[in-house]
Amino acid sequence: MQESSKKTKHIKILPPEGVTLQFNLATIPSRFLALIFDMFVISLSVFVMILALVALFVGGSLFGGSGGYILSFWLISLFLLRQCYFFFFELVWQGSTPGKRLLGLRVIAKDGRPLGLQALIARNLMRDIEIFIPLALVGQGFNMGHEQLWLSWIGLGWTILAIGFPFFHPQSMRFGDVIGGTFVIEVPKAQLLADKARSTTHARQATINFTPEQLSIYGEYELETLAQVLRKVDDHKADIDDLRVISRTIAEKIRYQGSEPFSSPLLFLQLFYAAQRQALEQKLLWGQRKVNKYQKK
């Protein structure tokens, strides 16, 4: 089925209400994409700053001012931009940066409580160490020539270690997440689909009464599959021939001998779905679960 084929990891949080809630952890590629996007935004603003700076410098030298203040302003704002970008957005936007928001991600605290200031600081301080500083080290090593090449190797090794770490962590945390105690999750999206058992209830004029024996063959798995088929009809992804094949198969299996599977397969399937669900839910109330058709009793 859909869920088992998609390998998303999730975490469980128990709110005070006592019903466990599930959150999907963000996948590593989507987190990486979000990082790339954020880096892009940072570089773009650096570029704009350079332009502004050049303009200022030209203007300043025209008026006889000195470039030194501008340069020092530049150095400090570059530092602030790189250090505070992630921190600022995660603080103000409830745990998401522009990149994360674009990909529908969000940082939450491990225990489900509000994301603390310390956690934010810790995870963003570590980001610098994980990626920026080792990469700077790599560059420095190459620039300084042969004797300093070992610096590059250390930097490269460190980066690989830091980037590889989430792949091995059971909850794909990076170093900063471990220290800050945070998870990055996918923001849950709630979409209520039409109830396939309800759409038949207004078509009351046509009903089929299935016998209890006919309704004791299939289980929850087959019921859910049928629901998916009926949703496909809504999306115009299943044609009448498919439905005919399915309804004929079902009729054969449950030994139903009316003409509906041939004359109006869609109606038959809808009625069968409603009846089957009613029967299974009725049994569920008595604590009897039938997972699939292979389960006996």
Residues 58-77 that bind other proteins (CB under 8 A): 66-69, 71-73, 75-76
Query: Using an 8 Å Cβ cutoff, are 74 and 56 in contact?
Result: no
The one among 6, 198, 236, 297 contacting other proteins by CB under 8 A: 198
Taking the complex as a whole, how short is the minimal distance between the CB of residue 238 and other proteins, in angstroms? 17
Unique residue bearing structure tokens 């529908």: 104
Helices (H), ranges, 128-174:
133-143, 149-168
Site membership for other proteins, residue 25 (CB under 8 A)? no
Taking the complex as a whole, how short is the minimal distance between the CB of residue 245 and other proteins, in angstroms? 21
Residue 13 has φ and ψ, to the nearest 5°, of -125, 135
Site membership for other proteins, residue 200 (CB under 8 A)? yes
Residue 7: both structure tokens together = 């390998």
Residues 178-197 that bind other proteins (CB under 8 A): 178-181, 187-193, 195-197
The one among 28, 42, 91, 217 contacting other proteins by CB under 8 A: 91
Which SS3 state, helix, strand or coil, does residue 186 take? Answer: strand
Residue 274: both structure tokens together = 């409603």
286 CA to centre of own chain: 36
Taking the complex as a whole, how short is the minimal distance between the CB of residue 281 and other proteins, in angstroms? 5
Residue 41 or 227 having the CB closest to other proteins:
227
Residues 246-275 that bind other proteins (CB under 8 A): 255-258, 271, 274-275
Residue 18 has φ and ψ, to the nearest 5°, of 80, 15
Separation in Å, CA 81 to CA 74, 204, 244, 258, 293: 10, 65, 63, 73, 60
Residue 29 or 68 having the CB closest to other proteins:
68
The one among 8, 43, 61, 94 contacting other proteins by CB under 8 A: 94
Site membership for other proteins, residue 53 (CB under 8 A)? no
Residue 265: both structure tokens together = 């397969």
# binding residues, other proteins (CB under 8 A): 84
Residue 33 or 78 having the CB closest to other proteins:
78
In terms of Cα–Cα distance, which of 96, 176, 72 is closest to 132? 176
Site membership for other proteins, residue 281 (CB under 8 A)? yes
Residue 241 or 249 having the CB closest to other proteins:
249
Q: What is the C-alpha to C-alpha distance for residues 243 and 261, in angstroms, rounded to an integer?
A: 9
Query: Using an 8 Å Cβ cutoff, are 175 and 129 in contact?
Result: yes
Give the bridge partners for 183, in sequence order. 108
Residue 96: both structure tokens together = 């998401």
Residues 97-156 that bind other proteins (CB under 8 A): 106, 108-109, 112-119, 121-122, 125-126, 128-129, 133
Stretch that binds other proteins, among 37-45, 50-58, 240-248, 279-287 (CB under 8 A): 279-287
Residue 99 or 176 having the CB closest to other proteins:
176
In terms of Cα–Cα distance, which of 4, 210, 231, 23 is closest to 111? 23
Q: What is the C-alpha to C-alpha distance for residues 73 and 261, in angstroms, rounded to an integer?
A: 78
Site membership for other proteins, residue 234 (CB under 8 A)? no
Stretch that binds other proteins, among 21-29, 31-39, 48-56, 140-148 (CB under 8 A): 21-29
Residue 13 or 39 having the CB closest to other proteins:
13
